[in-house]
Structure 1
């Protein structure tokens, strides 16, 4: 029996070894390189010793860096809030009001935006939001506006609209899965006890679906903080976020040390926020047991 267990353990390690090496090469090694570069001195497009924390001190002291960091968090949080608020009713409708035989079709339709390139979808929003675009033409032709609205001129609003559309399917799917796990007899029992549909939703459905909501928040929040394409194409580079700042430091300023320090700082901020939501998720899951 002991030999059998030992052989199974060796077989397990052999199976796990290639993916582990692959993950180490593609994830751990680049991350370690960025961490190392962030504490080196950047000079003439290269990094060198001595080791220093001056890059982090500059990030904390310079207003431009702090402003971009706060803008990235602000935009990402608004995008996350908007996306989840829009995604929840869709997921609720599909879960509770669509027949089981047609739910797969609805989920298929929700994922249709993924059929086109992300850059194409972002570029199309320029046509919709820009000067003399679809929104402007419609408002003027109907007499609701006398002049061009040009939403694209407001970088933050246009970025929020574009990112909310781009990440909506990512929010719908986890919320839908969570709602599907809600036992329908619990809802019927609540209404049998005299609760209205609204109170049953607030006291039963919403708390039980919170793990899916928190998962949606993480899925949307983490990538939008570091989104590079949308601020560049929609904001025209006039409303940079942290990814645009990192690109500028790395490629234009050729300061790899500062670019790496900005990347590590952004990862730390995202990591802290993510840990908070993970702990909230554990609380909700633990409360359901």
Structure 2
């Protein structure tokens, strides 16, 4: 029996090794190189490989970097909150209120049929000074001149990213709702709970894993997004990823770019951990 268990264990390790090597080569190795670069410095066109914390000191002392980090977290939080709030009713409708689930799931995935960059440019055309929104408002007489505050600011970034990430929020929440045992909802009704009480005491707590998954799927890539802020954010909508892109590109300062990347990863990890713990605690209190 022991020999059989060891044999099965060895087979399991053997089967998993290709995936481990693949992930290690594409994730662990680049991350290790980035960490190493963050402790080096750029000496004109050469990299000084003497270990130092100078990059981190400069990054912490630089008010622009602090501003961009804070702005990135705030924008990512707003995008996450808005997307989940808009996605939850849609996921709830698909899970409980319609029989044509496959059709609705196909409709949800339609944005994936076009390029992400194309969708960002579409929002730029919609929100532009002479764009679809301003033209429509002028036509119906609600405004006398085009609105200039709806593009090239953080609001445009939040709106564009909330639309871009919507399917990533709807699908995990739907899966979580779909797993809820209907007998639990029936039991809550038999015990005299109203529809709102049933939702707050049964549906919402049991769907918290889906909400957490959707939030993390949205929050983490939003902090690292630099395309959308560059196209629709303007000067006030730039995020930390835009500065990282400059460091690795025009500035040719890879060590500083690696430092900013590591700092962004640590900030995202901390915020995500606090969010998950808080949301799980809230779910337990609701129950």
TM-score by length of 2: 0.93
Are the equivalent residues in 2 in contact too, given 1:91–1:173 (CA < 8 A)? yes
Are the equivalent residues in 2 in contact too, given 1:42–1:257 (CA < 8 A)? yes
| Distance change in 2, residues 1:191/1:144 (3 Å) | same
1:165, distance to aligned residue in structure 2 (A):
0.2
Aligned to 1:129: 127
CA–CA distance in structure 2, aligned partners of residues 283 and 153 of structure 1: 38
Task: Confirm or deny that 1:222 pairs with 2:220.
Answer: yes
Aligned to 1:52: 52
Equivalent residue of 2:246, what SS?
Answer: helix
Deviates most, 216-225 or 144-153: 144-153
1:242, distance to aligned residue in structure 2 (A):
1.1
1:11, distance to aligned residue in structure 2 (A):
2.5
1:191, distance to aligned residue in structure 2 (A):
2.9
Aligned to 1:65: 65
CA–CA distance in structure 2, aligned partners of residues 153 and 45 of structure 1: 38
CA–CA distance in structure 1, aligned partners of residues 59 and 279 of structure 2: 32
Are the equivalent residues in 1 in contact too, given 2:152–2:234 (CA < 8 A)? no
- 1:118-197 alignment runs, 5 A limit: 118-197=116-195
Are the equivalent residues in 1 in contact too, given 2:152–2:235 (CA < 8 A)? no
1:187, distance to aligned residue in structure 2 (A):
2.4
Deviations 1:117-155 (A, max 9, x none): 101111111111111111001100001111101444341
| Distance change in 2, residues 1:61/1:287 (3 Å) | same
| Distance change in 2, residues 1:149/1:288 (3 Å) | closer
Specify which of 85, 102, 105 is matched with residue 104 of structure 1.
102
1:26, distance to aligned residue in structure 2 (A):
0.7
CA–CA distance in structure 2, aligned partners of residues 9 and 287 of structure 1: 41
The number of equivalent residue pairs is 287
Gaps of 5+ in 1: none
Deviations 1:167-207 (A, max 9, x none): 00000011111111222232233333333211221222111
TM-score by length of 1: 0.92
CA–CA distance in structure 1, aligned partners of residues 72 and 61 of structure 2: 17
1:21, distance to aligned residue in structure 2 (A):
1.3
Over aligned residue pairs, what C-alpha RMSD do you find? Answer: 2.1
Gaps of 5+ in 2: none
Equivalent residue of 1:146, what SS?
Answer: coil
Equivalent residue of 1:42, what SS?
Answer: strand
Specify which of 253, 256, 259 is matched with residue 258 of structure 1.
256
